[in-house]
Amino acid sequence: MKRSTHHMPNTPSTDDWRARAACRSEDPELFFPKGEVGWKTNVDKAKKVCRRCPVHRECLQLALDNGLDDGVFGGLSDKERRVLIRRRTNNAA
Ligand code: SF4
pLDDT tens figures, 15-51: 799 999 999 999 999 999 888 888 899 999 999 999 9
Number of domains the chain is built from: 1
- Residue 73, ligand 1, Cβ within 6 A: yes
- How far away, in angstroms, is 93 Cα from ligand 1 center? 30
Neighbours of 19 (CB within 10 A): 13
Chain-centroid distance, C-alpha 38: 18
Domain for residue 6, yes or no?
A: no
Domain for residue 3, yes or no?
A: no
Chain-centroid distance, C-alpha 90: 23
Return left, alpha or beta for 28; rule: phi > 0 is left, psi -120 to 50 is alpha, else beta.
alpha
Predicted local distance difference test score (pLDDT) of residue 44: 96
Domain for residue 4, yes or no?
A: no
- How far away, in angstroms, is 9 Cα from ligand 1 center? 13
Domain for residue 62, yes or no?
A: yes
- Residue 21, ligand 1, Cβ within 6 A: yes
Cα gap 65→59, rounded to integer Å = 10
The domain of 87 spans 17-92
- Of ligand 1's listed atoms, the one at least distance from the Cα of 72 is 3
* Averaged pLDDT for residues 2-24: 71
